[in-house]
Amino acid sequence: MRRSKTISSDSMNNPLLDTSSLPRFGDISPDHVLPAIEHVISTHRKHLDALLSKNADPSFDSLVVPVELMEHELGRVWSPVTHLQSVLGSPDWREAYKQALPLLTQHGTEISQNIRLQRAYTGVGKSLPADASESQRRVVDHALRDFHLAGVDLPESDKDRFKEIMQELAAVQASFEHKVQDAADAWSLHVLDENELAGIPKQAMERAAEDAAGKSLTGWLWSLDYPTYDSIMTHAHDRQLREKMYRAWTTRGSDQGDDPEWDNSENIETILALRHEVANLVGYRSFADYSLATKMASSTDEVLDFLHELAASTRGAAEKELSDLQEFAGMELRPWDVTFWLEKYKQAKFSVSNEDLRQYFPAGKVINGLFSLAAKLYNVELLEQTDVAVWHRDARYFSVKNSDDAIIGGFYTDIYARNGKRNGAWIDECIGRQDINGSAALPVGYLVCNFPPPDDSGLSLLTHDDVVTLFHEFGHMLHHLLTRIDLPSISGINGVPWDAVELPSQFMENFAWSYEVLRDCSAHSESGQALPRQLFDKLEQSRNAGAGLAMLRQLELAMFDFRLHAEYDPKQIVSSLEMLHAVRKEVSLLEHPDYNRLPHAFSHIFAGGYAAGYYSYKWAEVLAADAFSAFEEAGIFDPATAQRFRREILEVGGSRDIMQAYIAFRGRKPTIDALLRQNGIQAR
């Protein structure tokens, strides 16, 4: 990889400050975090002040480029910190993160509220030459928008309050996520009677037995990570066991959990109040309106109309699915029954079993097949580098080469669940692409999942749902890696509207439903045989089983999130649980128990970037399904279509209006028809 400039000679003493290459994971410790962040912020403050003092007539090159480089540099120093506190489960790393976060938040707010900087950007915008690139114009436009959203126009007293809110929000959102993780890590279920565990797959049983032995216990010890939860909810015959697991999962971080210390109730109230206040401060009626300022959707009505249209189109199919399932089960189903009986229904109707399918998907084989797919579509090569320092024995690093054999980026993988590691699957930026003013860096990312850990023989078997998840996250990674934009704030995923950022990921999921792709991603754990066509056909036939119920579930989450933020009124507060009840009354077909506390572990919206934006998954899924239909029409490996998708969508980052980019790829605007058809739902 090409080298970028280091911050100073201090980089040799503090490995976090060494931005000459990849993060030095073998050398970095929590003690390095606070000094590194303090050093970078102090240096950047002085540099910015000098820029504004000496730059009477700023240009793009004299002002915007140095600011871009500073933001890029700070991101490189901070990214290993945010990553390690998520994947290591270390109290020291968490504490270092918590100590540094207020400094980052304050610094970010200071910059975005700097009136001198805002005026300088305004001047640059007015003086851009006629031949200025679209990327340059977008960077300036985005910056001016963000200045406004950060309250740069406010009186000093309101600016100070904005800063206070940002500080408090950062702290409370971090607390929310940590409480969810702590509650999950502290919970376990010790089972002595093997009869209670009938139906649970061998891989999960072996892991639970190992965990019990590790605690000097007999029997099986069940934890609250997602692979364990999913395995029990899908396969355990014992209904009481399923409800125990369901209750533990849906009460994480709540007043219904095991320890009041991990109750997020107060955090939720504080987060909603602070978000509403900050939106009001800068002139928006609600946080939902404030959020839409950076999204494709133009208004709260447009979002709600979209969600209601999808719900209305889906409801009939979901009602029939639930009726068929309950008839098949011979009982009224509760939330802890649906996944189990849906699996039994698929086995009975389509002769397909998640556990049978799992035998064909060893994690290593799936990853190799996925990489081969990327090579076929986009003419790239992915190669493991074993000489790169990583943070855990399960982590790996891959470099990415273009067709001319030039390295264009790289990424780390960390795909197995372990105690202390944040649940879920995600990608994050390690290094963003930039190539300006003689300083260059190639994009590097983190790809993190929580799949079942390898057994004693080193084998981790994935469900097909796991395969879809891996394809999804790799779609994000390709978006990050294949960018051709050199300005960091709009390269890769940066600067892309949040309700479009899921387009490449959900688009990529579709390839996990292609036989030609799955054949290359599969090798039976015993025979080594690829997935038989006959078994794939059964899987494909079962694809839409439960699709309506799954769609309503996502719409329930999206409506809850959006209405919670759009309708918040400090004079007449509706609690998150009241709002959830109202949304479920409108959308859900299932009766949920009173102890269900979904909001209290909903980290996507209370600790992540999806606040008033969870609808983005469905919004982008419409784009993704419509985009994939172009591949279906031309042939899913059609080189011209793949290169057009790469050129018009994956490479442009935030340098172009996303709808214009989509039309350039597809030749028209998207419709919801492809998504409904993909889910076996008839358009109304």
Residue 22 clears pLDDT 50, i.e. is over it: yes
- Domains defined for the chain, CATH in brackets: 9-112+114-149 (1.20.1050.40), 187-251 (no CATH), 262-352+548-614 (1.10.1370.10), 363-541+617-678 (1.10.1370.40)
Q: Which residues contact 445 (CB under 8 A, 6 or more apart)?
A: 409, 411, 412, 427, 428, 429, 430, 477, 480, 481
Tell me, what's the pLDDT at 5?
A: 38
Q: Is the dihedral of CA 285, 287, 288, 292 positive or negative?
A: positive
Which among 403, 411, 413, 416 is positioned nearest to 450, based on CA atoms? 416
pLDDT of residue 437: 83
Write down the pLDDT at residue 354.
87
pLDDT at 671: 87
Per-residue pLDDT of 537-581, as tens digits, reads 999 999 999 999 999 999 999 999 999 999 999 999 999 999 999
Answer yes or no: 473 catalytic.
Answer: yes
**Residue 683 pLDDT:** 65
Q: Give the DSSP H or E segment for 631.
A: helix 616-634
Are 459 and 525 within 8 A, CB to CB?
A: yes
**Looking at 473, 502, 556, 648, which residue is catalytic?**
473
Q: Give the residue from 235, 182, 181, 183 showing the smallest Cα distance to 208.
A: 235
For residue range 220-236, what is the model confidence (pLDDT) as tens digits?
A: 999 999 999 999 999 99
- In this predicted structure, the answer to whether residue 411 has a pLDDT above a threshold of 60 is yes
Q: Give all strands (DSSP E) within 175-256, no chain letters.
A: 189-191, 220-222
Identity at 458, one-letter amino acid code: G
| Residue 456, Cβ density class (10 Å: 0-12 exposed, 13-18 middle, ≥19 buried) | exposed
pLDDT at 2 (0 to 100): 33
Rounded to the nearest integer, the mean pLDDT of the chain is: 95
* pLDDT at res. 682: 75
46 in helix, strand or coil?
A: helix
- pLDDT tens-digit series, residues 444-477: 999 999 999 999 899 999 999 999 999 999 999 9
